[in-house]
Amino acid sequence: MHTAQPAGRVRLNVGGQVFETTVDTLTGAGEGTMLCAMMDPCWNAAGAAGTAGGVPEYFIDRDPACFASLLDMLRTGELHVPAGVPERVLFREANYYGLLDRVRAARIGELDLKRVRLAASVPPGRVTADRPIVRAAPDGGCCVTHTHDTTVRVYNWMLEERRPVCLTPAVSRVRDAAYLGPSSLLVGGLGMAAFSALTGDLSHHFRLANLGESVDTLALASDQETKMFASCRGISRYDSYGIGVWDCITGEQAGPLLYPKPESKMGSTTKLQWLPNTKTLMAASVCSSFSMALVDSRDMSVVWSWWYDSAREGKNRCVVDAAVMEDERSVCLISDHHDLGLLDIRIQGNSGNVRWLHQSKMSSTSKCNSPKLAVHGGLLSASKDDTISVFGGPKYDLRLALRGSQGGGAINDFSVGGDRFFAVHKEDNVLDVWETPLPPII
């Protein structure tokens, strides 16, 4: 750890343009940054080109316009991209000085769905495919794959495409992906493995301990710490699905597979959602009829289950997605007709009734697509066609509607995380990114 010099003036000649600032401003860049290290007494004395009036001066052979923007960010906390300078050039210069984390904090505000704006639309960059899925990373990046594809496209928070990841053998199709953290990506399909999200390198494969074989995966979830969960079966056992838990660090299975009992009416689980407050896992099946369960992660036991009985309601309605609300007391359901419903999961079993909200809350502009649900910040997001509707309040009134790329077609999937909202279109696979601008510093 360095011992900071007393606050004083310092000059930096960057690409022929001289900047004068204080030692405190540069050390405020933080440990591990180049500018902070330059103020350390242990810094190579030859680093200073000389002194003028007792003020040390350093020469840095980099872009002066970008440095001016970064220096202003250190002074004010606000980031302004210089006119005529592409954002990626500024990011490159920030990386040189070790300021990328500071730039990200100044660039992306905490996600507020009531104030989001469309920040970018990223083209697929290759031949489009049907049914794309997107998963948000904790650092503002994401990954995109397709239910019948063999690779996963990975993007960093600057929306630059990194090296893709691929299950082995190369013919293994991907069905789902989940982030363990900003640098670790879990991928499942005909096989299950962990990869570095930074380099695309394989970390390890996950196998079924009792069968000693690879895992055929339908859905993934992570506790954002050390455990991952998967709805899966052995490659040789196509008739029996279960939910398993693995240690993300070692890749070893951390418990037996949970095979749902017939009375739970749980089919093949197609969606998993980790609930951090209760340390439970929501498992939902929408294959033939809808059913869901809550699983205690400590012993992988079912503590609550429910299934939708359309005959009891007397309506031709199918539930196609579910999301547990952030209070973990209720779950929101969406039907194939885009009806929204709420279910109190504190009521045991099928004695709980769904409180269906009025169908008119889901507007339509084109041929419908399979709807999806997500929750964030007490608000509920639901997709229909080319629009994502955001609901809030005690009655879940419509707050706003998000539309992305013009002509992109129906939204096939969306994901919230890393202070960003991602949506991928079915027809052209364009990836839309929404974020909340930082409020001005007064």
Give the DSSP per-residue string, 288-339.
Answer: SS-EEEEEETTTTEEEEEEE--HHHHTS---EEEEEE-TTSSEEEEEETT--
Q: Which of 345, 371, 375 is nearest to 359 (CA)?
A: 371
Mean pLDDT of 108-134: 84
Distance CA 82, CA 70 (A): 10
What integer pLDDT is reported at residue 419 of this predicted model? 94
Q: Which residue has the higher pLDDT, 152 or 216?
A: 152
Q: Is the pLDDT of residue 6 over 50?
A: no
Which is higher by pLDDT, 332 or 232? 332
What average pLDDT does this structure show over 304-321? 79
CB 265 within 8 A of CB 289: yes
Domain membership flag for residue 156: no
Helix (H) or strand (E) holding 23: helix 23-27
Q: What does the alpha-carbon distance between residue 240 and residue 367 come to, in Å, rounded to a whole number?
A: 36
**Residue 136 resides in a domain:** no
Same structural domain, 399 and 321: yes
Contacts 24+ apart (CB under 8 A), 307-316: 307/264, 307/265, 307/266, 307/350, 308/333, 308/354, 309/350, 313/354
**Which one is predicted more confidently, 89 or 356?**
89
Instruction: Note the pLDDT of residue 205.
Output: 86
266 and 205 in one domain?
yes
Distance of alpha carbon 410 from alpha carbon 399, whole angstroms: 21
The CA distance from 44 to 37, in Å, is: 10
> Mean per-residue pLDDT for 308-324?
80
Tell me how far the alpha carbon of residue 228 is from its chain's centroid. Answer: 16
Give the model's confidence band at 1: pLDDT under 50 very low, under 70 low, under 90 confident, else very high.
very low
pLDDT band at 311 (very low <50, low <70, confident <90, very high): low
Contacts of 413 (CB under 8 A, 6+ apart): 132, 133, 134, 372, 383, 423, 424
Residues 121, 76 share a domain: no
Are both 377 and 403 inside the same structural domain?
A: yes
* Residue 185 sits in the same domain as residue 233: yes
CATH number at residue 320: 2.130.10.10
Nearest to 122 by CA among 166, 153, 85, 80: 153
Q: Which long-range contacts (CB under 8 A, 24 or more apart) does 238-244 make?
A: 241/267, 241/268, 241/269, 243/269, 243/272, 243/281, 243/283, 243/295, 243/300, 244/208, 244/215, 244/300
CA distance 174 to 42: 51
- For the chain, the domain total comes to 3
Specify the higher pLDDT residue, 188 or 1.
Answer: 188
pLDDT band, very low/low/confident/very high, at 390 (cuts 50, 70, 90): very high
**63 and 115 assigned to the same domain:** no
pLDDT above 70: residue 350 = no
Q: Is 389 helix (H, G, I), strand (E, B) or coil?
A: strand
Q: Which domain holds residue 378?
A: 111-128+314-442
Phi-psi region of 441 (alpha: psi -120 to 50; beta: other; left: phi over 0): beta
User: Would you state the pLDDT for residue 333?
Assistant: 93
pLDDT: is 437 or 390 the higher one?
390
Does position 11 have pLDDT exceeding 60, yes or no? Answer: yes
Q: Is residue 435 over pLDDT 60?
A: yes
Percentage above 70 pLDDT, the chain = 84
Q: Burial, 260: exposed, middle or buried (Cβ in 10 Å; 0-12, 13-18, 19+)?
A: buried
Coil, strand or helix: which one is 42? coil
- Any domain includes 43: yes
Asked if residue 51 has pLDDT above 50, the reply is yes
The residue that leads in pLDDT, 108 or 45, is 108
* pLDDT value for 149: 79
Closest listed residue to residue 278, CA positions, set 214, 232, 346: 346
Q: What is the mean pLDDT of residues 384-400?
A: 90
**Is the separation of the CB atoms in 196 and 204 below 8 Å?**
no
- Residue of 89, 159, 96 whose CA lies nearest to 124: 159
Q: How confident is the model at residue 230 (pLDDT cuts 50, 70, 90)?
A: very high
Nearest CA to 410 among 385, 388, 389, 387?
385
CATH number of the domain encompassing residue 27: 3.30.710.10
Q: In the predicted model, is pLDDT for residue 95 greater than 80? A: yes
What average pLDDT score do residues 195-220 get? 82
Q: Are residues 355 and 270 in the same domain?
A: no
Of 146, 135, 116, 235, give the one whose Cα is nearest residue 182. Answer: 135
* β-pair partners for 340: 334
Does residue 171 sit within a domain?
yes
Confidence of residue 3 (pLDDT cuts 50, 70, 90): very low
Are 320 and 405 in the same domain?
yes
What is the Cα–Cα distance from 150 to 175, expressed in whole angstroms?
9
Q: What is the pLDDT of residue 238?
A: 56
Residue 311 CA to residue 313 CA, distance in Å, equals: 5
Kindly tell me if the per-residue pLDDT of 53 is higher than 90.
no
Parallel, antiparallel, or unpaired: how do β-strands 373-376 and 330-335 relate? unpaired
| Mean pLDDT (whole number) for 296-309 | 88
User: Domain boundary at 245, 278, 307, which?
Assistant: 307
pLDDT for 399 beyond 60? yes
In-domain check, residue 437: yes
Mean pLDDT of 393-399: 88
In whole angstroms, how far apart are CA 13 and each of 16, 20, 56, 61? 6, 9, 11, 8
Domain membership of residue 143 (yes or no) is no
Q: pLDDT tier at 128 (50, 70, 90 boundaries)?
A: low
pLDDT at residue 361 tops 60: no
What integer is the mean pLDDT of 152-167?
92
Strand pairing partners for 273? 282
- How large is the average pLDDT for residues 34-62? 74
The whole-angstrom distance between residue 260's C-alpha and the CA centroid of its chain comes to 29
29 assigned to some structural domain: yes
Indicate whether 390 and 441 sit together in one domain: yes
Q: pLDDT averaged over the chain?
A: 85
